[in-house]
Amino acid sequence: MLILLLHGLAGVMLALWAAAHAALGFTVTVLAGAACAGVVMAALGAWLARRALPADAGRLRWDGQAWHWRGSIDRPLTRLEVTLDLGVWVLLRLHGADGARPLWRVASQRGAGAAWHGLRVALGAHAGEVPSDADDSDRPGAAP
């Protein structure tokens, strides 16, 4: 939902910026065009969100030693990253032990229920080891 909202807002703002840059003013036609741009960008955001965050349900499990993902793809995890924590919603990047492409999953307070606080504590405490040969040059903010 956040991706959809941000893409829609970006479309509206881009259209309004273009109208202001072209000195068209803010007429009904320009505002309708901005609304259309927002709808198109929101649809693009929805498509991207479906590709990046599949809807398949799964379970993240901590066995005291390591994390495991149980879903359409069952695999042990070497580590996970909490990439965005909004309090009631967490975006996770799961790194499998098999070296495959990381999975992106969302955990929510509604889905976890009473276990939500414990899950957030466990995510912070047991993220896993960062590989020693990890290349940090692709991380945001890394020095060139």
pLDDT in tens, 34-88: 888 888 888 888 888 777 766 667 888 888 888 888 887 778 888 888 988 888 8
Q: Say which residue, 90 or 75, is predicted with more confidence.
A: 90
pLDDT digits (tens, 9 = 90+) for 22-33: 888 778 888 888
Structure tokens at 83: 């990439």
Q: Which helix (H) or strand (E) holds 107?
A: strand 103-108
CA distances from 5 to 31, 90, 108, 139 (A): 18, 17, 18, 25
- Ranking 61-65, 99-103, 129-133 by mean pLDDT, the lowest is 129-133
What is the structure's pLDDT at 54? Answer: 63
- Give the span between the Cα atoms of 50 and 139, in whole angstroms: 24
- Give the span between the Cα atoms of 25 and 129, in whole angstroms: 55
Phi, psi of 60 (to 5 degrees): -100, 125
Q: What is the CA radius of gyration of the chain?
A: 20
Q: Say which residue, 69 or 144, is predicted with more confidence.
A: 69
- Give the span between the Cα atoms of 49 and 35, in whole angstroms: 21
